[in-house]
Amino acid sequence: MSCMLKADMKEKQRSMRQKRENDTVMGNLPQGVYAIKKDIFCYILAGMVLLGLVYLFSVFWMYRQQDAARYQEWKETVDDMYSYRLSEAEKNLRSLLFVLRENPVLRQQFMAKDREMLLETSRSLEHILNQDYHITHFYFHSPDRINFLRVHQPERHGDRIDRVTLRQAVKTGEIASGLEIGPLGTLTLRAVIPWHAGEQLIGYLELGRELASIASAFRQSDTVDGYLLTVNKKFLKHQGWLLGMAMLNRSADWSAFSDRVIMINTLPERFAYLGSEQMEQHRLQSFLHRFVFPENMFYLIHDRPLVDVSGRHVGSLIFVHDELKELLLARRMNNFFLLTLLGLAVVLLVIYYHVLRRAELQLAESGAGLEESRQQLALALEVADLGMWDWRPQHGDVVYTNDIFFTMLGYLRESLPFTMERWVELIHPDDLEEVRTVRQLFLDSDDSCYCTEYRVRTVDGQWKWIRDVGRVVSRDGQGRAQRFMGVHINITQRKEAEARYRETMSA
């Protein structure tokens, strides 16, 4: 019988060892190991995603700050350039008027009302003024504001001029200047000066420079790539504007915008959508610029309102600058850095995979060894018919046992919620006092071992003798026992043999 039990144990041990080796080779890991792997991977992945989002947010925020500062600097530079060029042009107009006012030939011909001679003399001057100072308008007016001669359009004369600059010069008797919109829709910087012969007012001289010629100077700088000059329609007459554009040899499209017209358009192709209301509303580039990309992230656009001499908002001058190439070159390093981080992350994940795989195999081997030890212990308890108990007082009055603990008494594990109180109820009344005494002595002493024998009631009401052997497996800091473990050994047959022996000896 003993040989059969030993052979059975060896066979079960051999099958458990073979199963562990197969699981290790096939990569079948315990559920706990798989959960650890999954948790670690999730944590690392979540950390990498979080770091990536933080990095992207930081880069985006940094770009926004850089773009806002760069746009503000560019806008101030463009405004300063515009104000400076407008101021210089106004100074030139005033200086030229002071010089022309002192020309005796012009004064004599004007006072003689000799329009032909005055035109001939003025045309040579106009050519010089246009070449050197970009003067586009040259007028002679009588004291009652009736135009005597337009040197740039000699066929037009005799009309009454009602512009603000001329009325200011009439009112103050001093030179007056400012931006004005003409009857043909051209925005012109004008200067008017009273003209005297001694104390007598003989008329007014007027020079003008079209705003488009002032704005054209921006194209010679690296600050602006193009501009769009528009005028509000409410200050224009449709036919008059078309006539003026034809005289200037410029294309005219009254329907390009609903509220304004284009006077000059030098926008690069990339910004062509700004030159049409329909294109501006439907072009994908416009949508991306307005709603997806941060403001002025790649393209700098500044809409500067144009105010005439009377303070009216008569139009706008839109400046554009393309920084796409510059920004792509400058920010390529950031992209390279990001790609480097991603590459390092991939390398770390690969290293993590191999390290974790090795740890998994080690854990699997350790887990398999532990499982084998547990199964060997269970097998040993089963073969020896030992009922195991585990008592942890700090966790409650509950005794944890194996199945044999119950089956040796005929109970089912599920039908008997086992506690220390329940166990005391099963002890034979004649043995109960001794069991309590032995247990209390064990609890009060420093002895780690415990052993006693007593009778326990089975499910069918009979009594079985058991040998209860246990010991303390852990204590707290004060030396108090925290956990007890032990076994119940069925010694009924031995007790019955001893009883029969005593009966025989007494006979």
Query: pLDDT tens digits, residue range 146-164?
Result: 999 999 889 989 999 999 9
Report domain 103-213's class.
Answer: alpha beta
pLDDT tens-digit map of 425-443: 888 999 988 888 887 777 7
Residue 17: band (very low, low, confident or very high) from pLDDT cuts 50, 70, 90:
low
CATH code of the domain made up of 385-506: 3.30.450.20
Residue 403 φ/ψ, nearest 5 degrees: -65, -35
Residue 5: band (very low, low, confident or very high) from pLDDT cuts 50, 70, 90:
very low
Residue 337: band (very low, low, confident or very high) from pLDDT cuts 50, 70, 90:
confident
More confident residue, 227 or 286: 227
More confident residue, 60 or 228: 228
Q: In what order do the strands lie in the sheet with 386-391?
A: 399-401, 386-391, 481-490, 463-475, 449-457
CATH 3.30.450.20 range(s) for the chain read 103-213, 385-506
Per-residue pLDDT, 328 = 61
Strands 463-475 and 481-490: antiparallel
Per-residue pLDDT, 147 = 96
Report the chain's C-alpha Rg in angstroms: 53
Per-residue pLDDT, 1 = 42
Residue 416 has pLDDT above 70, yes or no: no
| CA–CA dist 240, 334 (Å, integer) | 55
Tell me the C-alpha to C-alpha distance, in Å, between residue 434 and each of 132, 389, 466: 129, 20, 14
- 115-133 vs 104-111: helix axis angle to the nearest 10? 140
> Of the candidates 179, 178, 167, which has an alpha carbon nearest to the alpha carbon of residue 204?
167
Contacts of 387 (CB under 8 A, 6+ apart): 381, 401, 402, 404, 405, 406, 408, 466, 487, 488, 489, 490
Contacts of 273 (CB under 8 A, 6+ apart): 279, 280, 283, 285, 286
| Average pLDDT of the segment spanning 342-358 | 76
Residue 18: band (very low, low, confident or very high) from pLDDT cuts 50, 70, 90:
low
